[in-house]
Structures are given as C-alpha cells and as structure tokens.
C-alpha cells in the first residue's frame, strides 16, 4: 500500500512496479484522513505499507489508533524524508511488523534496510543500495570522492539512473559529471557496511555568514523537545549575515512552546551555539508538498514577508 503520489520514486518502485512484477494486490488510499487510512488497512488486510515520516507521525497521534485491527501489517518501509530514531522507535511500540528505512529519488537512486539488519542500521541509516549494478560515491564541492565516514554530496550512476530532465540541457550539464555520475543534491555519508546516512539536502543548507548549517541537524535537535511534534528549519534572509536560522515548530497536542524553552533545552543538551535557532515561529500545522514533505518554499516566503512587514529587510 503506497502512501504517496505514484509518480514519485518510493511509491512507484517500492509499491506499484514491485506489485505488478510479482502479481500482488495493491491498495490505493484516496482519503487524506488518518481514520480512513487505518480503516482501509483493516478492511483490505494490508501486509506492506510505504509511508512518509509526516504521515507516520499523524498515525501515531490518532487517539483511537488501538481500536483498528492492523495485525496484517508485516513490513512498513519509511521513506521520502528523514525519520528520526525516536519516531521509528515509537512506531515499533504501537504498530506491528518489521520496520525498514529507505532512501531514493525519482531520478533513480534507491536504498533500503533489510530484515535482519541491526536496530542501529534501521534507525540511524537508510540501508544499502538495492541495485547491485549501481555505483555510489560521496563527493566534495570540487567533485572529489570522499572516504567512508566523511559527509558530502551523494552521486550515483548505473542502470537505474535517469537520462536527464525534459528539454533542460542546461540543467543537465550541471548535474552530470563527465563520467556519467548524477549529483543528487542530497548530503550524506556511508558507513563501513555501505549503509547510507543522509544528513540533509545540499540546497537545504543554511548559510549564516561563513557557517554552513544543516537544516536537518537543527530540526533533529528541536524535535527532541517533548513539547514539539514537528520542526522545520529554514534560512531567513538577513542583511548582514545572508541568512539566519529560523525554525517553524508544530507543538505536540495540548502543548504550548516558547523560544526560551527551546533554547534552554538545546543548551542543556550541549548543542553547538551555531545550531541554536535565532527565531521560532509556532504553527498549528506546517504546509506540505504533494509528497507530504514540509513545503519549505512556502515557509521561506512567509518569513520573508514577516521580516519585510517588521522593517527588518
């Protein structure tokens, strides 16, 4: 059962194509309501679920989750965005089946953890490549390959790599190396076993003066706060530094959260000073894209308008 648009890599390759190839039954969900989704899983006795972290969070927040019979679920693959170890752990405590984590892009890259992998691999990585003929590497800004354990941009080539964007030769010249590697724009590294550890998006780097700050790292820190259900870190424009760190937070149900509370907790945990948010915007819900990821473009537009209205731009 794919929970995401079938035109995207995860729902397409992990659900649609696999079920056509092996002759399985695929269940399509058409309702955005969690209760409708859970009722459909119960009715159709769904065994496999591809789910993005945002929707998984919403499922766990469903107050009547336990009244649905979800015992048919045997494998739940989480992909489409970073899932924190805390989210995966919470899901295993309330949902049946094996949990796996995956990484992929519509351009062809894909990986996933396997049944039998250590818990550390499932919660801290996106598993190993799925196609043995694909070749992956991590490169620095000059395109130089980096050693295992060092973070950079993920690049790959192989039979699963797409041939280019439609009528976009100029863009294609920027994303393909002379030897055929596609630069994904995803930042990450590999461990000694070949597991992907995705740390964020290259374009999701906040550049505060001379510092390059990973938005994903800031989000992971803020989401440790018990009162925070979800966080989205963005670079808000700044005349002097170029960008400063702004975090939109969605409070946990029934909770109220303040800027000072978040900063105090992060400092108590020993967070680096340059990772501390400089502005917090509290929102009842964060805007989402069609893939159910947080729409950071909308958040950047919103904070820019606010700064302009405040006379800070």
CATH of the domain at 215: 3.30.300.30
Percent of the chain at pLDDT exceeding 70: 97
- Global pTM exceeds 0.75: no
Reply yes or no on whether the pLDDT at 2 is more than 70: no
E strand map for the chain: 48-51, 75-78, 98-104, 110-112, 128-129, 135-139, 152-157, 182-190, 196-201, 205-208, 211-214, 228-238, 242-251, 279-282
Q: What is the pLDDT of residues 202-260, one digit of tens each?
A: 778 887 875 778 888 899 899 989 999 999 999 999 887 888 999 999 999 899 999 99
Q: Is residue 214 part of a domain?
A: yes
Q: Is residue 240 part of a domain?
A: yes
The three state secondary structure string of 62-79 is CCCHHHCCCCCCCEEEEC
Which range of residues forms the domain containing residue 278?
A: 209-309
Q: Is residue 225 part of a domain?
A: yes
Q: Determine the Cα–Cα distance for residues 46 and 25; give it in Å rounded to an integer.
A: 9
Q: Which residue has the tokens 């439609």?
A: 166
Per-residue model confidence (pLDDT) at position 1: 65
Q: Is residue 243 part of a domain?
A: yes
Q: Is residue 255 part of a domain?
A: yes
Q: Is residue 235 part of a domain?
A: yes
Reply yes or no on whether the pLDDT at 155 is more than 90: yes
Number of domains in the chain: 1
Q: Is residue 262 part of a domain?
A: yes
Q: Is residue 231 part of a domain?
A: yes
């Amino acid at each position: 059962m794919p929970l995401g648009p079938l035109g995207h890599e995860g729902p397409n390759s992990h659900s649609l194509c696999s079920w056509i190839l092996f002759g399985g039954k695929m269940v399509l969900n058409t309702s955005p309501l969690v209760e409708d989704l859970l009722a459909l899983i119960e009715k159709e006795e769904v065994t496999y679920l591809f789910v993005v972290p945002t929707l998984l969070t919403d499922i766990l927040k469903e107050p009547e989750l336990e009244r649905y019979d979800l015992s048919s679920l045997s494998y739940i693959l989480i992909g489409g965005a970073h899932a924190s170890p805390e989210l995966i752990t919470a899901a295993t405590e309330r949902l049946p089946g094996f949990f796996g984590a995956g990484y992929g892009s519509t351009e062809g890259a894909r990986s996933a953890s396997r049944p039998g992998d250590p818990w550390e691999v499932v919660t801290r990585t996106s598993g190993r490549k799925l196609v043995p003929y694909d070749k992956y590497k991590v490169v620095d800004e000059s395109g130089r390959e980096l050693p295992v354990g060092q973070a950079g941009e993920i690049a790959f080539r192989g039979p699963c790599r797409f041939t280019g964007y439609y009528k976009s030769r100029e863009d294609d010249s920027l994303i393909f190396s002379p030897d055929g590697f596609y630069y994904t724009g995803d930042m990450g590294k590999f461990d000694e076993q070949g597991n992907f550890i995705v740390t964020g998006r290259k374009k999701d780097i906040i550049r505060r003066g001379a510092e390059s700050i990973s938005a994903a790292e800031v989000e992971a820190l803020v989401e440790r706060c018990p009162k925070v259900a979800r966080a989205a870190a963005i670079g808000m424009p700044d005349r002097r530094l170029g960008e400063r760190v702004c975090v939109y937070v969605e409070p946990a149900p029934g909770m109220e959260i303040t800027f000072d509370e978040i900063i105090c907790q992060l400092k108590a945990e020993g967070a680096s000073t340059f990772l501390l948010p400089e502005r917090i915007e509290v929102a009842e819900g964060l805007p989402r894209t069609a893939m159910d990821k947080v729409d950071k473009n909308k958040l950047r537009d919103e904070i820019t308008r606010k700064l302009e209205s405040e006379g800070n731009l």
